[in-house]
Amino acid sequence: MNAPVYRIPPTIVHANEPMPLSSVPWTRKAEVMEPVWRAGITGKGCICINLDTGYRPHPSLPVPKAVRNFTGSDRSDVTDRHGHGNHTIGSNVGRNGLSAAPEADIKVGKVLGDSGGGSNTAAGLEWAAKEEGDVVSCSWGANTTQVDSRTQRALVLAEECGKWIFFAAGNEGYRGWNTVGSPASSPNCVAVASVTEAGAPSSFSSGGPRVDVAAGGSYILSCGLKGNLVMMSGTSMACPTFCSDAILLRQTMKMLGMSVYLTSRGLVQFFKSENFLKDAGPVGRDPRFGEGISVTSQNILNWIKARITEFA
């Protein structure tokens, strides 16, 4: 199968009112996050690789440690002119309360052009696989369940290189069958569906047997292109939200001397076995929530306390 043009799912931008810069998303309530951060679990020492529409400087974003453009001849030009990239990066590693991992670093691969599509995304995944880093955040896909061969090889390579790879499940809704698109349909990544603040499935969120986990994706506040904050909805938002939680887990495992070399399937089972996922819907795995909703930031502190007697 030849590689399709992968695109951003039809994300909803809520631009009806300005958001104060002091605002934080509902997924990062201070009473939940601050005890985790005070314990030193901030993502420090971890690197997230974001593959999207690029990056633009923002007061709440760190300067990337590395950049690569896969959409044009200038490899160093990763300027985000769309807005989707900055928003997902903010949920990945944003400062000022926007992400779970405010001290993690970021690397940026611009794999989607200014219109939100790209035909060289597999090259971006190959680059991410070989770069120093911990997690890879991808909020894009295609309306097919088949993964092209080059993308599939790149996902396997990323796993072999020790990366945890996260993909948005898609915004096709769930109509009783598998609507999870490619590459999220691959078993070599974690497919993330979206839920509302009330814990219900987001109406737009794709579903089916390939959904692994769910995270907050409705009305998510993050970085805009003008130094502002923008609210968006989509599995594009749920993916980096879950990825940010995973950065905290990755940091903790490193602190404990644990191996972080887990396949995507192994990682999902680890989240489940260590009670980092809240079961929702029918008991056990189901097509809307997968193995459960990410509550890593709420549960990780107890997990750490059970294994470390003294920490900052």
pLDDT surpassing 60 at residue 21: yes
pLDDT surpassing 70 at residue 216: yes
pLDDT surpassing 90 at residue 18: no
The 10s digit of each residue's pLDDT in 227-243 is 999 999 999 999 999 99
**Global pTM?**
0.96
Higher pLDDT, 66 or 20: 66
The 10s digit of each residue's pLDDT in 50-70 is 999 999 999 999 999 999 999
In whole angstroms, what separates CA 158 from the centre of its chain?
Answer: 15
| pLDDT score recorded for residue 22 | 86
12 phi and psi angles, rounded to 5 deg: -95, 125
Q: Could you give the percent of the chain with pLDDT greater than 70?
A: 97
Q: Is residue 2 part of a domain?
A: no
> Closest by alpha carbon to 166, among 219, 103, 245, 96?
245
Higher pLDDT, 297 or 84: 84
Taking residues 150-156, what's their average pLDDT? 98
Q: Which two tokens stand for residue 16?
A: 């009806």
* CB count in 10 Å sphere of residue 86: 28
| Structural domain boundaries enclosing 278 | 9-305
| pLDDT score recorded for residue 109 | 98
Taking residues 265-276, what's their average pLDDT? 94
pLDDT surpassing 70 at residue 310: no
Taking residues 117-146, what's their average pLDDT? 97
Cα separation, 112 vs 128, in Å, equals 15
Q: Is residue 3 part of a domain?
A: no
- The three-point CA angle 245-85-155 to 5° equals 65
| pLDDT score recorded for residue 291 | 97
The neighbouring-strand residues paired with 193 are 214
Taking residues 215-221, what's their average pLDDT? 97
Q: Assess whether the previous peptide bond of 35 is cis (omega < 30° from 0).
A: no
Question: In the chain, how many domains are there?
Answer: 1
Q: Is residue 202 part of a domain?
A: yes
Q: Can you tell me which residue has the tokens 């934080």?
A: 24
Q: Which two tokens stand for residue 47?
A: 């690197």
| pLDDT score recorded for residue 306 | 81
CATH number, domain of 52, equals 3.40.50.200
Q: Could you give the percent of the chain with pLDDT greater than 90?
A: 88
The 10s digit of each residue's pLDDT in 274-309 is 999 999 999 999 999 999 999 888 888 888 888 776
Catalytic residues: 52, 84, 236
Q: Is residue 240 part of a domain?
A: yes
Cα separation, 245 vs 268, in Å, equals 13
Taking residues 245-267, what's their average pLDDT? 95
Give 165's pLDDT tier (boundaries 50, 70, 90): very high
- 8 A C-beta contact, residue 228 and residue 19: yes
pLDDT surpassing 70 at residue 17: no
Cα separation, 50 vs 101, in Å, equals 14
Taking residues 103-113, what's their average pLDDT? 98
Q: Is residue 198 part of a domain?
A: yes
| pLDDT score recorded for residue 309 | 61
Q: Is residue 166 part of a domain?
A: yes
User: Beta 47-52 vs 105-110: how paired, if at all?
Assistant: parallel
Taking residues 78-95, what's their average pLDDT? 98
Q: Which two tokens stand for residue 200?
A: 């219900």
Q: Is residue 209 part of a domain?
A: yes
pLDDT surpassing 70 at residue 19: yes
Chain mean pLDDT for the chain:
94
| pLDDT score recorded for residue 41 | 94
Can you give the three-state secondary structure of the chain, one letter per residue? Answer: CCCCCEECCCCEEECCCCCCCCCCCHHHCHHHHHHHHHCCCCCCCCEEEEEECCECCCCCCCCCCEEEECCCCCCCCCECCCCHHHHHHHHHHCCCCCCCCCCCEEEEEECCCCCCEECCHHHHHHHHHHCCCCEEEECCEECCCCCCHHHHHHHHHHHHCCCEEEEECCCCCCCCCCCCCECCCCCCCEEEEEECCCCCECCCCCCCCCCCEEEECCCEEEECCCCCEEEEECHHHHHHHHHHHHHHHHHHHHHCCCCCCCCHHHHHHHHHHCCCEECCCCCCCECCCECCEECHHHHHHHHHHCCCCCCC
| pLDDT score recorded for residue 288 | 97
Q: Which two tokens stand for residue 217?
A: 């994706």
Q: Can you tell me which residue has the tokens 């030849």?
A: 2
Q: Is residue 300 part of a domain?
A: yes
